[in-house]
């Protein structure tokens, strides 16, 4: 039998880590709760030449890609936490059967059983 309290703690820890990482590459959208946006690079460097600008655009694109991944993971973690609150945690959202314990231990945010795993 799966211990939901343990997994909830794991999820909360992961959420805290994701928020911390997100705050390094982006900032929370003040208008939409839970939405994050990549931080714009500082292009106002007085000594910036064209190469510096290209570098910071590249850094921005990289940060934006990381931001998108972190935000997607945060959404998964958040929805797993709300399933715990709703009492529907550990139920495959495709077939409605119980998600395997081993799968939940490997990924506490998993929304589906092994058979319906995406990717």
95 within 8 A of 116, measured Cβ to Cβ: yes
**Can you give the binding site for Zn ion, defined by CB under 5 A?**
92, 94-95, 113, 116
Nearest distance, CB of residue 109 and Zn ion, angstroms: 15
Q: How far is the CB of 94 from Zn ion (least distance, A)?
A: 4
The nearer residue to Zn ion, 46 or 96, going by C-beta atoms, is 96
Q: 87 CB contacts (<8 Å, ≥6 apart)?
A: none
- Whether the CB-CB separation of 62 and 54 falls below 8 Å is answered with no
Q: Which is nearer to Zn ion, 17 or 116 (CB)?
A: 116
Residue 83: CB minimum distance to Zn ion, A: 14
Find the helix packing angle between 50-86 and 4-25, rounded to 10°.
Answer: 160
């Amino acid at each position: 039998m799966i211990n939901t309290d343990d997994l909830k703690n794991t999820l909360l820890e992961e959420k805290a880590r994701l928020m911390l990482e997100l705050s390094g590459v982006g900032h929370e959208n003040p208008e939409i709760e839970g939405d994050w946006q990549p931080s714009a690079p500082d292009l106002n460097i007085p000594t910036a030449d064209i190469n510096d600008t290209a570098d910071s655009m590249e850094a921005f694109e990289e940060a934006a890609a990381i931001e998108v991944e972190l935000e997607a993971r945060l959404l998964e973690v958040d929805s797993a936490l709300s399933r715990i609150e709703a009492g529907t945690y550990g139920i495959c959202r495709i077939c409605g059967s119980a998600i395997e314990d081993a799968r939940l231990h490997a990924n506490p945010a998993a929304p589906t059983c092994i058979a319906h795993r995406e990717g």
